[in-house]
């Protein structure tokens, strides 16, 4: 198990190098930060000085090496737009995005899995059909539209919940949390639903189709023939067998939630990384964009590792294969 984790972490290195190269390449090929930073009026001397200050007059690969070296030390450069270290900016924004994404993911799992099980078992029930229609809406409506509709109904018409921002937050050194204040929690509701809606309906439909598949299997029939209760069969035998594909999809989706909550954060003016990214793209703030890219790559590597570990927890067949595999090496 330990060897497996180590080998997975080693495999992550080339991934991060490639992502680092791409994100670095943006410096060289996307936009011209120098002219953006200098504005309209500048002298040639000012330009040369800035270019030198940013290290842009050095050969490409030297710049890349410098960049990766700095990145390894957690130095992502200075934001062109805000003239502050990118690492500070991201650390500031990270908690908001993580809290939003986790809430959305938990919401999606807690509602999506039971709904999927239910619709898989009661295929033709009225409630199951209603869930299916609802899920079709969730899957097909674009996120920004769901967000705007929720704001319209719950913030504008009913006035129950705030329409933007994060509310009051409590700070713990580097971390700021909205979980501990009423206004923070109230602010979280609409964005979390908006962000989690698609995942929830996706999870529900996935669990449903997997359940229907598994319920037809011989071992479920045999479990019935052994006289086990419906509850044990549905949740013990059937649901557990649907978990491997569900874990795969949910893992990727949570990566997506963290990385691409851009639309939701924009709609709700949520002070997270997505909003930071949108604002940075607008002015070609390349250090922020590339740091963001690296961070998302890291998140996906981490999630894939967790997903793989969960596979082994769920499916004993994989454990043996792994043992055999590491033995063969």
Partner 1 sequence: MALLEVDRLTVEFPTRRGILRALDAVSFDIEVGEVLGVVGESGAGKSLTGAAIIGLLEPPGRIAGGQVRLDGMRIDNLSRDRMRPIRGRQIGAIFQDPLTTLNPLYAVGHQLVETMQAHLRLSDRDARERAVRWLEEVGIPAARQRIDAYPHEFSGGMRQRVVIALALCAEPRLVIADEPTTALDVSIQAQIITLLKRLAKDHGTSVMLVTHDMGVIAETADRVAVMYAGRICEIGPVRAVVKQPAHPYTEGLMGSIPSLEQRVERLRQIDGAMPRLNAIPRGCAFNPRCPKVFGRCRAERPELLAAGDTRAACWLYDAYSGGRASDV
Q: Is 121 in the site for partner 1 (CB under 8 A)?
A: no
Whose structure tokens read 């949910």? 250
Site string (298-317) toward partner 1, x via CB under 8 A: ----------------xxxx
Going from the C-alpha of 170 to that of each of 93, 137, 179, 219, 317, the distances in angstroms are 14, 36, 8, 51, 46
Q: Which position among 73, 171, 226, 231 is part of the footprint of partner 1 (CB under 8 A)? A: 226
- Rounded to a whole number of angstroms, the minimum distance from the CB of residue 321 to partner 1 is 10
User: Residue 86 CA to chain centroid, in angstroms?
Assistant: 20
DSSP states of 186-226 as a string? HHHHHHHHHHHHHHHHHHHHHHHHHHHHHHTSHHHHHHHHT
| 103 touches 196 (CB < 8 A) | yes
Q: Is 224 in the site for partner 1 (CB under 8 A)?
A: yes
Q: Is 229 in the site for partner 1 (CB under 8 A)?
A: yes
Q: Which stretch binds partner 1 (CB under 8 A): 91-99, 234-242, 252-260, 296-304?
A: 234-242
d(CA 140, CA 201): 10
Quick one: 214 or 291, whose CB is closer to partner 1?
Answer: 214
Quick one: 52 or 123, whose CB is closer to partner 1?
Answer: 123
**CB atoms < 10 A from the CB of 72, how many?**
10
Q: Shortest CA distance to 247 belongs to which of 196, 304, 174?
A: 304
- Rounded to a whole number of angstroms, the minimum distance from the CB of residue 310 to partner 1 is 13
**Burial state string for 183-210 with b = 16 or more CB within 10 A and e = fewer than 16:** ebbebbbbbbbbbbbbbbbbbbbbbbeb
- Rounded to a whole number of angstroms, the minimum distance from the CB of residue 115 to partner 1 is 23
**DSSP3 helix / strand / coil % (the chain, rounded to 5):** 75, 0, 20
Quick one: 124 or 173, whose CB is closer to partner 1?
Answer: 124
Q: Is 128 in the site for partner 1 (CB under 8 A)?
A: no
- Rounded to a whole number of angstroms, the minimum distance from the CB of residue 196 to partner 1 is 28
Q: Which position among 25, 170, 320, 325 is part of the footprint of partner 1 (CB under 8 A)? A: 320
- Rounded to a whole number of angstroms, the minimum distance from the CB of residue 294 to partner 1 is 37
Q: Which stretch binds partner 1 (CB under 8 A): 65-73, 172-180, 186-194, 214-222?
A: 214-222
Q: Which position among 18, 230, 306, 325 is part of the footprint of partner 1 (CB under 8 A)? A: 230
Q: How many residues touch partner 1 (CB under 8 A)? A: 23
Quick one: 176 or 241, whose CB is closer to partner 1?
Answer: 241
């Amino acid at each position: 198990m330990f060897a497996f984790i180590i080998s997975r972490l080693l495999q992550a290195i080339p991934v991060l190098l490639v992502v680092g190269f791409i994100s670095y390449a943006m410096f060289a090929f996307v936009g011209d930060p120098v002219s953006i930073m200098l504005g309209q009026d500048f002298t040639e001397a000012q330009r040369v000085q800035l270019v030198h200050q940013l290290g842009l007059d050095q050969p490409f690969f030297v710049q890349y090496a410098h960049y990766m070296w700095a990145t390894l030390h957690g130095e992502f450069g200075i934001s062109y737009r805000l003239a502050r270290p990118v690492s500070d900016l991201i650390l500031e924004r990270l908690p908001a995005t993580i809290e939003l994404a986790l809430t959305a993911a938990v919401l999606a799992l807690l509602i999506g899995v039971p709904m999927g099980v239910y619709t898989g078992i009661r295929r033709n029930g009225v409630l199951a059909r209603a869930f299916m229609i609802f899920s079709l809406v969730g899957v097909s409506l674009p996120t920004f539209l769901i967000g705007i509709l929720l704001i319209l109904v719950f913030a504008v018409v009913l006035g129950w919940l705030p329409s933007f921002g994060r509310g009051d937050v409590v700070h713990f050194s580097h971390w700021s949390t909205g979980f501990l204040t009423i206004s923070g929690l109230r602010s979280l509701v609409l964005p979390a639903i908006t962000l989690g809606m698609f995942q929830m309906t996706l999870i529900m439909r996935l669990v449903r189709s997997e359940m229907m598949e598994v319920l037809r299997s011989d071992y479920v029939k045999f479990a019935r023939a052994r006289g086990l209760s419906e509850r044990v069969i549905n949740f013990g035998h059937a649901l557990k067998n649907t978990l491997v594909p569900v874990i795969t999809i949910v893992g990727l989706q949570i990566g997506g939630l963290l990385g691409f909550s851009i639309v939701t954060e924009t709609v709700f003016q949520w002070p997270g990384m997505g909003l930071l990214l949108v604002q940075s793209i607008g002015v070609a703030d390349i250090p922020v964009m590339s740091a963001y890219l690296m961070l998302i790559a890291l998140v996906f590597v981490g999630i894939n590792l967790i997903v793989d570990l969960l596979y082994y927890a769920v499916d004993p067949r994989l454990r043996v294969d792994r043992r055999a595999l590491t033995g063969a090496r």
